Structure formats: C-alpha cells, structure tokens
DNA sequence: ACACTATGTCGTCAAGTGATGACATTCAGG
DNA sequence: CCTGAATGTCATCACTTGACGACATAGTGT
C-alpha cells in the first residue's frame, strides 16, 4: 500500500518514512540516536494507548521492526520503566524552587507564574495520561513522585504565602500539606479535566490560574487567621 | 456467598467457592441473579485490573466458567458498557439537589454534609478507578457524566454560596462553573490522591472537607466581591 | 418416568502477543 | 577486497485471549 513511491529508486537507496513491509531496511541510526527516538515515540504511544498497548504497534509507529525494540530493551517492562523515568520525572524544573522564594515579588504573582509554567511543562496531556496509567497499574508510581517532589513544593508554598500574610502557621505538617493541596489539587484537577476528561471550559488558562490563585490566597488567609485567633 | 447453606444436599453436592477445575457444576442461579452477581464482581474486577483485563480471570473470580459470561453479554464490550452504566452513573443521589438548597441551614454546613456524602458514595476507590480507566480508554465517557450531572451541581453551589453572601455574580457561565470547580476539583483531587495515588495524609476526612469548604467560601466571597467593585 | 428448557462446562479456533534465533545489509579499518 | 561488528529484518515459538459449537446437568410440568 505504501510502496506506492514513484519508483526510480536507483540501486539500493533505503527509503525513508515509509511503512514496514518491504524488506528494505530503513535509514540506519547510531545506537543512542535510535534509542532516543524509540523512547520519544514510546512516550507518545503509551500515553495514548495505555501501558498494555502492543509492541508491534509501537514498532510500526517508530517505523522499525518489532524485533529491533528488543535490541535496546530486554523486555517491554524495561522499556516502560525507562519511558516512565524520562517522561514523569524529567519535567520538573528546579528553578521553580528559587523563583517561588523571590520575596521581592508578591506571592500572587509568583504563584501565577509558577502554575502557568507548571501547567505547560508538567500537567500536559501526555504527562497526565502516563502518570494516570502508571498509577492505576502500579501503586508505587505516584507516591514516589509526590513524596519526592511535590511535598517540598507544597511546604514552600504555604511558607511563602504565610510569610507575606504575616500569619502564624500551626505545627501540624499534614494540615499544612493539605492546605497547599487545596490549590495544587484544584489546578491539577483542572488539567485532568482538560486533558483526560475532555471537559475544559472556554476560559483561557491564564484566567483560570489567576482565579484559582487569588481565591486560594484569600481563603488561606481567612482560614489560618481564624485558626490562630480562637476568640470571636 | 449465599450458597453457604448448611450443606446436607443429598447425593451430588456441588462443591462451593473452589477454583474452576473439576467439571462439577457450581450452584445454579436464576438468570437475573447470576447476571447481577457477574456485574457486581465485574465492577470490582475491572476497577482493579483495568478494562483490558481478561474474561477468563473475571470468570474465575465469579466462580463460573468463562463461557457462561457469554450467555449474559454478547461481547466483552457489552459487559463493560453495562458495568459502566451501573457503577458510574448509578451512585448519584438526587436528594443532594434538594439538601443543597435548604436555606434554613448555613451554606457551609450544607457543603460539608454534601461533600462528606459525595466522597463516601461517589468518590470511592472503585468509582474513581473505573471512571479513570474509562476516561483514558474512551474520550466520550467522562464528558457525558460531567455534562449530565456535575454541571448542574456546580451551578447550584455557586448560586447558593452567592445567595448567602449577598454577592452579585457575573453572567459568564464558564467563569461560574470554573469557580465552583475550585472546590469540586480540589475535593475530587483529594479523593484521587487517596485512592489512586495512595498518597493520602493522616488527617481525618471530615477535617479535610471542612477546611476545603471553609477556604472555598472565604476565597469565593473575596474574589467575587472584588470583581463586582472595581473601585478601591 | 418423560421430555423440555434453562443453567452451566469443556474443548477449541483464529487472531493476537511478547520474545528470540537466524539471517541480511551497511560501513569503517586494514 | 576482506573482515567483523553494528544495525536491521523475517519467521517463528509458546502462550494468551475473545468468542463459540457441542455437550452435560438440574429443575419443572405433565
């Protein structure tokens, strides 16, 4: 079907970007390059079709034979593990920790910028679908990510918000985490709605983030001021 | 489970609750009863193992032969569709609409009660996993649920909160939905964290809900009061 | 006892499914 | 040109998986 190319193919010249039917080998690539290409394609592929999708379909999407996958990864599980490491853990920017602590700017502006970037860099359709498939399949996937990265983020955020508002925070770590989750969860769920549920609104993302952040800051202040002053 | 009757059943005594190895038929059930039992087991089964899990494993979990499944459902897809209808759409309580509009009680108390019940009735591990598997596999699943039920809930909530606070709401429906999603999404994400990510805190659920609701109410008021009064 | 129907199982088929051995092609270095 | 390693494919194996025909058993009415 795809061998419909316009003939005149000189002597041996390998054709590019065509299906996998002939016997003619496709363009040869050095090991590292081919592996990177497979991982890139696999990220997209498993994100869309789930971790139970078949290696043959992945190979076809890569434009290579199924056998070739096994020159780079001993088993499908090893391939999945590498995809997970790259796609899930590889999008976090350490600069966020710095920027969120820049007290020369109002916390509202810092949070607006951070979450705008976090939505664009981490909470993408691809990341969310992979993360969800992995979480559903393996109970240990999500906790590692959350414990390793998100918790630090949450602690930093409550600290910065409280500092700007001059409120005293209780010592209960779990309570503080949960308070920061109010914002982080709401924005995460907004991304889930858009990319997984396909039920996003027509509002521009910026506006949603700004509303979320502003409501959070006001709610946070109200809540912890009232907590700190039990007297009516 | 029900065939646990006290034995003494004459000559042929079919064994119970055992694997499917002999050839001895299991306890016979009338059509409707067996179908209900299959659907119940299938809900649990597919929720745990995903929609791509195998009919043979499901049959074993039901304690019946794989062939018997096909006496009740023409294909696996038909079975999945019935499971989805029962498990996803069948837990919504219409009484919630009534209770949320009971203005003899403060909106905070109404929201606390509602979300406590919503978490217990809808946002269970089983419901969430099924909903997520279905959303990932079929882009049309989640929007149907959200458009059919949740949107009405969101509109009711913003309306009730605004009424108690005496604030004027803008006309932008999408903005109002998004505002209510701040609370609904944060609580949904809390459930996702607990049941899908296995990363829940040690705080009791009641307390988390109360904090979410209180922060939302304060943030909502602050946000829409400021929106309505652009001056000062 | 007899037949009839509903309930339930065994065995099997055809299409897939991860994985692997054997073989083909390219290319650098002598 | 020769050689050997790297890159790539085909064919295939053993096992899975949805689906179904043929058959077995239990309960019921007559």
Of A219, A225, A232, the closest CA to residue B222 belongs to A219
Q: How far is the CA of B41 from the C1' of C7 (A)?
A: 19
Tokens encoding A229: 């002053």
What local confidence, expressed as pLDDT, does residue A198 receive? 93
Which stretches in chain B have pLDDT values below 50? Answer: 1-25, 231-232
pLDDT of B130-169, one tens digit each? 999 999 999 888 988 888 899 999 999 999 999 999 999 9
Predicted local confidence at residue A21, as pLDDT: 35
If we measure between CA atoms, which residue out of A143, A196, A170 comes closest to residue B188? A196
Tokens of A185: 């969860």
Locate A159 and state its tokens. 């600290």
Contact A137 B50 (CB under 8 A): yes
Provide, as residue numbers in chain A, all residues whose Cβ is less than 8 Å from the Cβ of B129: 136
Give yes or no for a contact between B189 and A185, defined as CB atoms under 8 angstroms apart. Answer: yes
> Is any atom of strand D within 7 angstroms of residue A56's beta carbon?
no
The set of residues, in sequence order, having a beta carbon less than 8 Å from that of B164 and lying 6+ positions away, is B103, B106, B107
Q: What is the pLDDT of residue A228?
A: 65
Q: Under a CB-based contact definition with an 8 Å cutoff, are residues B132 and A132 in contact?
A: yes
CB distance A160 to A217 below 8 Å: no
Please give the CATH topology (third level) of the domain spanning B92-228.
Tetracycline Repressor; domain 2 (1.10.357)
> Which class in CATH covers the domain with range B31-88?
mainly alpha
Across A7-16, A95-104, A143-152, least confident range: A7-16
Q: Which of the nucleotides in strand C have any atom less than 7 Å away from a protein CB atom?
A: 6-11, 16-22, 25-27
Q: How far apart are CA A108 and CA A215, in angstroms?
A: 10
Q: Residue A32 has which token pair?
A: 């590292």
More confidently predicted of A92 and A17: A92
| CA dist., res. A149 & res. A140, Å (int) | 15
* Domain chopping of chain B, boundaries: 31-88, 92-228
- B184 to chain A: closest CA residue: A186
Q: Are B156 and B183 in contact (CB under 8 A)?
A: no
Q: Tell if B52 CB is < 7 Å from nucleic strand D.
A: yes
Distance in Å, alpha carbon of B230 to nearest chain A alpha carbon: 15
């Amino acid at each position: 079907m795809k061998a419909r190319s316009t003939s005149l193919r000189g002597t041996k010249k390998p054709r590019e970007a065509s299906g996998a039917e002939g016997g003619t080998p496709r363009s040869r690539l050095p090991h590292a390059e081919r592996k990177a290409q497979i991982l890139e394609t696999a990220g997209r592929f498993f994100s869309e079709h789930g971790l139970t999708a078949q290696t043959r379909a992945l190979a076809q999407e890569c434009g290579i034979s199924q056998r070739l996958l096994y020159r780079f990864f001993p088993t499908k599980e090893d391939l999945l593990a590498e995809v997970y490491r790259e796609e899930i853990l590889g999008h976090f920017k350490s600069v966020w920790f710095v920027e969120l602590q820049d007290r020369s700017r109002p916390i509202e502006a810092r949070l607006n910028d951070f979450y705008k970037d976090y939505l664009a860099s981490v909470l993408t359709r691809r990341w969310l679908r992979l993360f969800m498939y992995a979480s559903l399949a393996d109970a240990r996937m999500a906790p590692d990510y959350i414990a390793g990265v998100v918790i630090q983020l949450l602690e930093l955020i409550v600290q910065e918000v409280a500092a700007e508002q001059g409120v005293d925070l209780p010592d209960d770590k779990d309570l503080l985490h949960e308070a920061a989750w109010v914002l982080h969860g709401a924005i995460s769920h907004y991304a889930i709605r858009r990319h997984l549920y396909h039920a996003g609104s027509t509002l521009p993302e910026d506006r949603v983030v700004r509303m979320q952040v502003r409501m959070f800051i006001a709610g946070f202040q109200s809540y912890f001021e009232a907590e700190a002053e039990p007297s009516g």
